[in-house]
Structure formats: C-alpha cells, structure tokens
Amino acid sequence: MQEHILSILIFFPALAAMLGFVVHKDSARAYGITVAAVEFFLSLWLWKMYDPMTSGMQFMESAPLISAFGINYLVGIDGISLFIIILSTFFTMIGIASLTETRRIKDLIITLLFLEMTMVGVFAALDAIVFYVFWELSLIPMLYIIGAWGGPLRIYASIKFFLYTFTGSLVMLVGMLFMAYFYFQATGQWSFSLLEWYRLILPANFQMWLFAAFFLGFAIKVPMFPFHTWLPYAHGQAPTIGSVILAAILLKMGTYAFVRFSLPLFPDASVAFMFPIAILAIIMIVYTAMVAYAQEDIKQVVAYSSVSHMGVIILGTFALNVEGISGSVFLMIAHGVVSGALFLLVGVIYDRRHTKLMSEFGGLASVMPRYATIFGIMMMASVGLPLTINFVGEFLSLLGFYKQSHSYTLVAGTAIIVGAIYILSAYKKAFFGPVTKEENKNLKDINRTELYGLIPLVIIAIWLGVYPKPVLEPINNSVEAIVQLMHDKAQTPEAQKRIPNLTQSDSMNSVQEAH
C-alpha cells in the first residue's frame, strides 16, 4: 500500500463519489464525512511516512500513458506539495462536516469528492499533461457548485470563473507543448516529465516567452491583478462550501504552480520579471485592501482580503531565495486555514440571518459571544498578529524580498497595515455597539456541529504560529533544492547575482563555524 499511497489518495475520493450514486440521500452526509475522514487520515499517514530531511521527490509512481509522446502517469511529492495535499483533504472533510445546505445534498457531496480528487492530483502530478488534466478537471465541479447552489447571479459568476481560468489554461498548454518540443530538440525524445524538464537549460530569450505563457495561466488562477475580477463574483455567489474550498485550496494551485514550474524551469526569466511582478503584487495588496475597506458585504470583505494576502504570497515567491519562497509556501497553508475559517464563519451568520450586509448586524458580541471570540481570533490571524499562523509566512515572505529590494518591501509592509484597518473596521461594525436590529436579539450562538469544524482551525492557527517547525522544516529543505537548481541553471549575470548559491553559502557557514 505504501508504494501506491499517492494513487490511493488521488483516486479514492473519485471511486467513493461514483459509489455515492447508489447511497440513499438520507445517508449521503454521513457517507461523505466518512469518505473525507478516511482520505484525511490517509494524508496524515503520508506525512508520518514522509522523510522531512530529504529534499527530493518521495512516494513516486510512474506508468506509461502515451509512450510515443513521453506522456506518463508520474506522481510524487516533496515538502512543498505535502502540506497543501493535507490542507486539501482537511478542508474537504471540514467542509462536508459543516454543510448546512439541504438542496440536493447527495449531488453536492458527490461533486465535492470529485473536486477533492482533482485537487490532490494537481499537487501530486509530476507530468505536465497529467497536471494539466487535473488542473482543468477542477474547473468542472467548482463550476457546478457555484452554478447549482449559488446566489441569484450564480450563472454569470460560474461562467465568468470558467472562461477566465480556462482561457489562461489554454495558453499554459501551448507553453507546455513548446517545452516538450525543446526537450525533443535537445534529446531526440519526447517527455512531459517535470523532472526531465528541470535538466533543460533554455536560451534566455525563449525563457521570456515561455514564462509569459505559463504566467498567464497561473496568474489568472491566483488571481493576480488585473485578472482578479472573476473572484469577487465567484465568492459572492458561491455557497459557503464553495467559497471555503475556493479560498483555501483552489487559489493555491496558481501560487504552487509558480514554485513548481516557473521558477525552476525559467530562472533567468523569473529574475527579469521579478520587479514587474512585485509591482503587481504590491498593487494587489494595496488596491484590494482599499476595495475591501469600502465593502458593506462582510463576505466581500473576506473575499478581497483573500486577494490582498495572495499578493504577499506572490511577493515572497518572487524573492527567489529560500526565505521568501519558504515563507510564501507556508503562507499558502496559513492563508488556506485562515480564509477558509473566515468563510465558514460568514456562512454561520448567513444561515441565521440570510444577509451578509454589516449594516444588518451590530452588537453580535453580546448575543453570540462564542462566535464573536472565534471570529476575532481568526481576524487577528488574518492581519498577521505575532504568534498566529499568518505572521510566520508574511514575515518570511517580506524578509526574503527585503534581500532583493528594501524600498519595495517597505511599501508592501506598510500596505499590509491597511489590512488591519479594514479587518478591524469590519469587526467593529458587525460585533460591537448596541444591538439595533430586533432580528439579532435572539440569535443562537454557534452550535456544537459548527464548533467541531472551527475549533481545529483555531488550534492550527495558533499552534503553527507559535511552533511552525514541523511544517516549515520540510518546506525549507525542498525549497533549498529548487533555489540551488535555479542558481545552477542561471545564465545571465543578473540572475546569478539575484539567486543565491546555497552550496557556497553552506560551505562559508561551515568555515565560519569551524573558526
């Protein structure tokens, strides 16, 4: 079983989803929770078996698919993908356990299980075509979730989400085909294996065009400014579970792909585009924070907040050093935990009041004290309060980019303060002051089922804020391997200067320690 653990993790939810068609609708919820829990514990077993001191790929599996063109079923994980897979299985379990939807519940659970297969597949795939297939398949369940269970504008939101991401993906596919062609030109054989592509050293001018092709697909998925306009609609119209999965997992596909594809394949282009992308990231942080401050809908505040924090992840990724990239990967996990929790919390109050307008709330802290406490903790984590999970990722991301540019980092760090302003403002409007609406005076506080979903998220947000080593160390080891690969492949003097040589640094540190 250990040899095929990744294949089991990928395809078990899909098999269970197909079997779910014969499950009675009254048992569908219990069935979904059971399947998702088994998948989550399998991912924890994967973590237990994982060697944190090894930087390379582990649990690799390979089988030929189209041998003539070098397309193989090739999967494996390292410290970067391990914890995002665990995050995917965890939020699928939490999401199904927290479901309050009553319409066609069986169909929704089957859709979520199919979506879980695509998410795990994306983060485990090491063949570009297999990656692309899982990447595109993830659009279909989310399109269905928004379109079938969303709000009044759900059809518009779901189609806009699909068209944006699908268009970017087609350009990315063209880039993948060109990469395979370059590999064929260099070796005489076709291959879509990422591990084989890592050995290629492409001319700098070709890197620019290929980087741009991959960038479009990844940037729309993040979504980076100015491709972000589909996200507020998707969040605004999606049911709670759709927003939770979208914010916690699906957005991370774009940032993960930058680390897995763009940086190691195109190191010279990554350096050339470093500062233009940093400018876009800073605009994301500032612009969406200001838009969030102007919102009256608390779900839209969380949605724009999510985009703003993704800007910090992008900034850390394109620091192109171990501190920045490790911080960005850790922040992917942190952002998933915090934003997922906030969308769950918004869903709690929406189920009771059927409105998301902050003007309809006020004084909730006195009516729902447990709810207000958990919301407050997750909001503090969202603004990066020390000893909470976001602080670790944001600090490392900014520290990494500080090594590249003091001024850019200062602007980005200052902009993050705006996040504290709109988050605290939203919290004040919703939870403090007198209870002015009659409908709010008898609201029920958070119940046991909702607590089961939220308490683990609070624990994780504080635990990894206080002691991030269990997650950060495996990430760091894998990131070091990527950074060294980038340095070894760098051709331009600027790239060799910007990307650190870790082998040289380690030897210098050893000399200093010896002295």
Q: Which of 343, 341, 246, 256 is nearest to 299 (CA)?
A: 343
State the helix-helix crossing angle for 448-466 and 369-382, rounded to 10 degrees. 30
Q: Which of 38, 43, 45, 30 is nearest to 85 (CA)?
A: 43
Would you say 98 and 108 are in contact if contact means Cβ atoms under 8 Å apart? Answer: no
Give residue 515's pLDDT band: very low, low, confident or very high (50, 70, 90). very low
DSSP letters along 450-465, please?
HHHHHHHHHHHHHHHH
For the segment 21-42, what is each residue's pLDDT rounded down to a tens digit?
A: 888 888 888 899 999 999 999 9
Where do runs of H (alpha helix) occur along 20-127? 28-49, 79-97, 105-124
Give residue 162's pLDDT: 86
Would you say 217 and 164 are in contact if contact means Cβ atoms under 8 Å apart? Answer: no
Tell me the residue range of the domain where 315 lies. Answer: 273-467
DSSP letters along 402-414, please?
HTT-HHHHHHHHH
Distance CA 421, CA 281 (A): 19
Query: Does residue 19 surpass a pLDDT of 70?
Result: yes
- The amino acid that residue 340 corresponds to is G
Is residue 5, in this structure, part of any structural domain at all?
A: no
For the segment 308-346, what is each residue's pLDDT rounded down to a tens digit?
A: 888 999 999 999 899 999 999 999 999 999 999 999 998
For the segment 480-510, what is each residue's pLDDT rounded down to a tens digit?
A: 999 999 988 888 888 888 888 877 544 334 2
Give residue 504's pLDDT: 58
Integer-rounded Cα Rg, in Å, for the chain is: 22
Percent of the chain with pLDDT over 70: 97
Is residue 78, in this structure, part of any structural domain at all?
A: no
Would you say 439 and 357 are in contact if contact means Cβ atoms under 8 Å apart? Answer: no
Is residue 455, in this structure, part of any structural domain at all?
A: yes
Give residue 7's pLDDT: 92
Is residue 322, in this structure, part of any structural domain at all?
A: yes
Q: Which of 241, 428, 293, 437 is nearest to 353 (CA)?
A: 437
Query: Does residue 446 surpass a pLDDT of 50?
Result: yes
Is residue 288, in this structure, part of any structural domain at all?
A: yes
Residue 345 CB contacts under 8 Å (≥ 6 apart), including other chains: 371, 374, 375, 378, 454
For the segment 210-258, what is each residue's pLDDT rounded down to a tens digit?
A: 999 999 989 988 888 888 788 877 877 888 888 889 888 988 999 999 9
State the helix-helix crossing angle for 389-402 and 448-466, rounded to 10 degrees. 40
Give residue 510's pLDDT: 29
State the total domains in the chain.
1
Would you say 67 and 10 are in contact if contact means Cβ atoms under 8 Å apart? Answer: no
Give residue 1's pLDDT band: very low, low, confident or very high (50, 70, 90). low
Is residue 378, in this structure, part of any structural domain at all?
A: yes
Give residue 124's pLDDT band: very low, low, confident or very high (50, 70, 90). very high
Lowest mean pLDDT among 295-309, 335-349, 363-377: 295-309
For the segment 95-108, what is each residue's pLDDT rounded down to a tens digit?
A: 888 887 677 888 89
Q: Which two three-digit tokens encode residue 324?
A: 């920045």
Mean pLDDT for the stretch of residues 277-282: 92
Residue whose structure tokens are 């969308």? 343
Distance CA 352, CA 350 (A): 5
Whole-prediction pTM value? 0.91
Give residue 226's pLDDT: 82
Count Cα atoms within 13 angstroms, Cβ side, for 262. 31
Query: Does residue 419 surpass a pLDDT of 80?
Result: no
Q: Largest alpha-carbon pair distance within the chain?
A: 75
Residues paired with 357 in a beta bridge = 297
Is residue 238, in this structure, part of any structural domain at all?
A: no
Residue 323 CB contacts under 8 Å (≥ 6 apart), including other chains: 396, 399, 400, 403
Distance CA 74, CA 125 (A): 6
Give residue 420's pLDDT: 78
Is residue 58, in this structure, part of any structural domain at all?
A: no
Give residue 351's pLDDT: 83
**Phi/psi of residue 447, nearest 5 degrees:** -95, 180
Lowest mean pLDDT among 6-20, 116-130, 413-427: 413-427
